[in-house]
Chain A
Amino acid sequence: AQSVTQPDIHITVSEGASLELRCNYSYGATPYLFWYVQSPGQGLQLLLKYFSGDTLVQGIKGFEAEFKRSQSSFNLRKPSVHWSDAAEYFCAVGARMGSGGGADGLTFGKGTHLIIQP
Protein backbone atom coordinates (compact mmCIF):
# COMPACT_ATOMS: atom_id res chain seq x y z
CA ALA A 1 0.00 0.00 0.00
CA GLN A 2 1.15 3.50 -0.67
CA SER A 3 2.00 6.03 2.02
CA VAL A 4 2.96 9.69 2.22
CA THR A 5 5.25 11.39 4.71
CA GLN A 6 5.33 15.10 5.30
CA PRO A 7 8.14 15.46 7.82
CA ASP A 8 7.42 19.05 8.80
CA ILE A 9 4.31 19.59 10.92
CA HIS A 10 4.79 23.37 11.08
CA ILE A 11 6.89 25.72 8.99
CA THR A 12 7.28 29.45 9.59
CA VAL A 13 8.45 31.66 6.75
CA SER A 14 8.79 35.40 6.44
CA GLU A 15 6.64 37.12 3.86
CA GLY A 16 8.60 37.42 0.63
CA ALA A 17 10.93 34.56 1.48
CA SER A 18 11.14 31.33 -0.48
CA LEU A 19 9.36 28.19 0.60
CA GLU A 20 9.91 24.47 0.27
CA LEU A 21 7.54 21.90 1.75
CA ARG A 22 8.76 18.34 1.80
CA CYS A 23 6.86 15.26 0.73
CA ASN A 24 8.10 11.69 0.49
CA TYR A 25 6.02 8.82 -0.76
CA SER A 26 6.20 5.08 -0.67
CA TYR A 27 4.82 3.17 -3.60
CA GLY A 28 5.99 0.22 -5.66
CA ALA A 29 5.76 1.96 -9.00
CA THR A 30 5.57 5.49 -10.28
CA PRO A 31 2.60 7.08 -8.58
CA TYR A 32 0.64 10.09 -9.53
CA LEU A 33 1.09 12.92 -7.06
CA PHE A 34 -0.83 15.96 -5.89
CA TRP A 35 -0.50 18.94 -3.63
CA TYR A 36 -3.62 20.37 -2.04
CA VAL A 37 -4.06 23.44 0.13
CA GLN A 38 -6.64 23.86 2.87
CA SER A 39 -7.42 27.24 4.38
CA PRO A 40 -9.10 27.31 7.81
CA GLY A 41 -12.67 26.06 7.60
CA GLN A 42 -12.37 25.43 3.88
CA GLY A 43 -12.21 22.40 1.62
CA LEU A 44 -9.17 21.18 -0.26
CA GLN A 45 -8.00 23.09 -3.28
CA LEU A 46 -5.76 21.44 -5.83
CA LEU A 47 -2.46 23.29 -6.33
CA LEU A 48 -0.79 21.01 -8.85
CA LYS A 49 -0.42 17.44 -10.00
CA TYR A 50 2.14 15.12 -11.52
CA PHE A 51 1.17 12.25 -13.78
CA SER A 52 4.08 11.76 -16.13
CA GLY A 53 6.50 13.64 -18.34
CA ASP A 54 8.28 16.75 -17.14
CA THR A 55 9.27 16.23 -13.52
CA LEU A 56 8.91 19.92 -12.70
CA VAL A 57 5.25 20.85 -12.63
CA GLN A 58 3.71 24.27 -12.34
CA GLY A 59 0.57 24.96 -10.38
CA ILE A 60 -1.68 27.76 -9.36
CA LYS A 61 -0.73 30.70 -7.14
CA GLY A 62 2.92 30.56 -8.23
CA PHE A 63 3.63 27.12 -6.76
CA GLU A 64 5.71 24.43 -8.38
CA ALA A 65 6.79 20.93 -7.41
CA GLU A 66 9.52 18.60 -8.56
CA PHE A 67 9.17 14.84 -8.77
CA LYS A 68 12.41 13.06 -7.93
CA ARG A 69 12.08 9.33 -8.44
CA SER A 70 15.47 8.55 -6.91
CA GLN A 71 14.47 10.25 -3.68
CA SER A 72 10.78 9.29 -3.76
CA SER A 73 10.02 12.93 -3.21
CA PHE A 74 7.62 15.55 -4.52
CA ASN A 75 8.56 18.78 -2.78
CA LEU A 76 6.49 21.91 -3.16
CA ARG A 77 8.20 25.25 -3.72
CA LYS A 78 7.36 28.89 -4.08
CA PRO A 79 9.98 31.60 -4.68
CA SER A 80 8.24 34.31 -2.66
CA VAL A 81 5.41 33.66 -0.22
CA HIS A 82 2.53 36.00 0.48
CA TRP A 83 0.58 36.31 3.74
CA SER A 84 -2.39 34.71 1.98
CA ASP A 85 -0.38 31.50 1.56
CA ALA A 86 -0.80 30.71 5.26
CA ALA A 87 -2.71 27.44 5.28
CA GLU A 88 -2.40 23.69 5.66
CA TYR A 89 -0.70 21.91 2.77
CA PHE A 90 -1.30 18.27 1.97
CA CYS A 91 0.65 16.01 -0.33
CA ALA A 92 -1.29 13.07 -1.76
CA VAL A 93 -0.49 10.02 -3.83
CA GLY A 94 -2.70 7.92 -6.06
CA ALA A 95 -2.01 4.44 -7.30
CA ARG A 96 -1.64 3.55 -10.95
CA MET A 97 -4.09 0.74 -11.37
CA GLY A 98 -4.42 -1.59 -14.32
CA SER A 99 -6.89 -1.14 -17.11
CA GLY A 100 -10.56 -1.33 -16.42
CA GLY A 101 -13.01 0.64 -14.40
CA GLY A 102 -12.91 1.79 -10.84
CA ALA A 103 -11.91 4.91 -9.02
CA ASP A 104 -8.70 5.36 -7.09
CA GLY A 105 -8.76 6.88 -3.63
CA LEU A 106 -5.91 9.17 -2.69
CA THR A 107 -3.58 8.65 0.25
CA PHE A 108 -2.77 11.88 2.04
CA GLY A 109 0.10 12.94 4.22
CA LYS A 110 -0.54 14.47 7.63
CA GLY A 111 -0.09 17.97 6.31
CA THR A 112 2.26 20.87 6.91
CA HIS A 113 0.93 23.98 8.60
CA LEU A 114 2.47 27.06 6.99
CA ILE A 115 2.77 30.21 9.07
CA ILE A 116 3.75 33.48 7.42
CA GLN A 117 5.58 36.07 9.49
CA PRO A 118 5.18 39.73 8.49
Chain B
Amino acid sequence: EPEVTQTPSHQVTQMGQEVILRCVPISNHLYFYWYRQILGQKVEFLVSFYNNEISEKSEIFDDQFSVERPDGSNFTLKIRSTKLEDSAMYFCASSTNRQGEQYFGPGTRLTVT
Protein backbone atom coordinates (compact mmCIF):
# COMPACT_ATOMS: atom_id res chain seq x y z
CA GLU B 1 0.00 0.00 0.00
CA PRO B 2 1.46 3.39 -0.96
CA GLU B 3 2.36 5.66 1.91
CA VAL B 4 3.79 9.06 2.66
CA THR B 5 7.41 8.94 3.79
CA GLN B 6 9.40 11.55 5.68
CA THR B 7 13.09 12.04 6.36
CA PRO B 8 14.79 12.33 8.71
CA SER B 9 12.79 10.77 11.51
CA HIS B 10 14.57 12.93 14.04
CA GLN B 11 16.53 16.16 13.51
CA VAL B 12 18.45 18.00 16.18
CA THR B 13 19.64 21.49 15.36
CA GLN B 14 20.92 24.55 17.12
CA MET B 15 18.89 27.72 17.41
CA GLY B 16 19.39 29.97 14.40
CA GLN B 17 20.28 27.16 12.03
CA GLU B 18 18.37 26.31 8.88
CA VAL B 19 16.65 22.96 8.59
CA ILE B 20 14.99 21.22 5.67
CA LEU B 21 12.44 18.53 6.32
CA ARG B 22 11.70 16.20 3.46
CA CYS B 23 8.61 14.34 2.41
CA VAL B 24 7.72 12.02 -0.42
CA PRO B 25 3.93 12.15 -0.92
CA ILE B 26 1.93 9.32 -2.41
CA SER B 27 2.77 9.30 -6.09
CA ASN B 28 -0.60 10.09 -7.69
CA HIS B 29 -1.58 12.72 -5.12
CA LEU B 30 -1.78 16.35 -6.14
CA TYR B 31 -2.33 18.19 -2.86
CA PHE B 32 0.32 18.45 -0.19
CA TYR B 33 0.33 19.70 3.38
CA TRP B 34 2.55 20.34 6.36
CA TYR B 35 1.30 20.18 9.92
CA ARG B 36 3.08 20.38 13.23
CA GLN B 37 2.39 18.99 16.68
CA ILE B 38 4.13 20.48 19.67
CA LEU B 39 4.60 17.85 22.37
CA GLY B 40 1.35 17.22 24.19
CA GLN B 41 -0.66 19.57 22.00
CA LYS B 42 -2.95 19.25 19.03
CA VAL B 43 -1.96 18.93 15.42
CA GLU B 44 -1.82 22.34 13.76
CA PHE B 45 -2.07 23.13 10.07
CA LEU B 46 0.87 25.03 8.59
CA VAL B 47 0.50 25.16 4.84
CA SER B 48 -1.04 23.51 1.82
CA PHE B 49 0.39 23.31 -1.67
CA TYR B 50 -1.15 22.61 -5.05
CA ASN B 51 -0.11 23.17 -8.64
CA ASN B 52 3.34 24.32 -7.55
CA GLU B 53 2.15 27.07 -5.31
CA ILE B 54 0.94 27.65 -1.78
CA SER B 55 -2.84 27.35 -1.53
CA GLU B 56 -3.40 28.21 2.08
CA LYS B 57 -1.22 28.98 5.08
CA SER B 58 -1.85 29.50 8.75
CA GLU B 59 -0.62 32.27 11.03
CA ILE B 60 2.15 29.96 12.18
CA PHE B 61 3.62 29.84 8.67
CA ASP B 62 5.54 33.11 8.77
CA ASP B 63 8.50 34.33 6.71
CA GLN B 64 10.80 31.86 8.44
CA PHE B 65 9.03 29.00 6.69
CA SER B 66 9.00 28.03 3.05
CA VAL B 67 7.91 25.02 1.04
CA GLU B 68 9.08 23.66 -2.23
CA ARG B 69 8.47 20.80 -4.59
CA PRO B 70 11.92 20.63 -6.16
CA ASP B 71 11.19 17.63 -8.36
CA GLY B 72 8.35 15.29 -9.20
CA SER B 73 8.48 13.39 -5.93
CA ASN B 74 9.79 15.44 -3.01
CA PHE B 75 8.00 18.08 -0.98
CA THR B 76 10.13 20.05 1.48
CA LEU B 77 9.61 22.36 4.42
CA LYS B 78 12.43 24.78 5.21
CA ILE B 79 12.82 26.72 8.40
CA ARG B 80 15.39 29.45 7.82
CA SER B 81 16.44 30.33 11.33
CA THR B 82 15.11 27.90 13.88
CA LYS B 83 13.83 28.99 17.27
CA LEU B 84 13.38 26.94 20.41
CA GLU B 85 9.62 27.08 19.94
CA ASP B 86 9.96 25.37 16.55
CA SER B 87 10.66 22.12 18.39
CA ALA B 88 7.80 19.85 17.41
CA MET B 89 6.79 16.86 15.34
CA TYR B 90 6.26 17.89 11.75
CA PHE B 91 3.87 15.86 9.63
CA CYS B 92 3.57 15.85 5.89
CA ALA B 93 0.30 14.77 4.28
CA SER B 94 -1.06 14.37 0.78
CA SER B 95 -4.43 13.85 -0.87
CA THR B 96 -5.84 13.13 -4.31
CA ASN B 97 -8.24 16.05 -4.30
CA ARG B 98 -8.75 19.20 -2.30
CA GLN B 99 -11.39 17.77 0.00
CA GLY B 100 -10.22 14.19 -0.01
CA GLU B 101 -8.84 12.31 2.92
CA GLN B 102 -5.33 13.34 3.78
CA TYR B 103 -2.75 10.63 4.30
CA PHE B 104 -0.08 11.45 6.83
CA GLY B 105 3.55 10.48 7.02
CA PRO B 106 5.20 9.20 10.20
CA GLY B 107 6.58 12.64 11.04
CA THR B 108 9.93 14.26 11.69
CA ARG B 109 10.71 15.15 15.27
CA LEU B 110 12.59 18.46 15.26
CA THR B 111 14.50 19.38 18.38
CA VAL B 112 15.99 22.87 18.55
CA THR B 113 18.60 23.37 21.24
A-B contacts, 27 listed (Cβ < 8 Å): A34-B102, A36-B104, A43-B4, A43-B91, A43-B106, A44-B91, A45-B104, A46-B102, A49-B101, A90-B42, A101-B51, A101-B98, A102-B50, A102-B55, A102-B98, A103-B31, A103-B48, A103-B49, A104-B56, A104-B99, A106-B35, A108-B35, A108-B42, A108-B43, A108-B44, A108-B45, A111-B42
Q: Which residues of A contact B (CB under 8 A)?
A: 32, 34, 36, 42-46, 49, 51, 90, 92, 94, 96-97, 101-111
- Dominant secondary structure at the B interface: strand
Q: How many A-B residue pairs have CB under 8 A?
A: 75
Interface string of B101-112 (1 = CB under 8 A from A): 111111100000
Contacts of B42 in A (CB 8 A): 90, 108-111
Bound-state CA distance A69–B106 (Å) is 33
Bound-state CA distance A46–B92 (Å) is 14
A105 CB contact (under 8 Å) in B33, B41, B107: B33
Docked-complex contact A107 and B31, CB < 8 angstroms: no
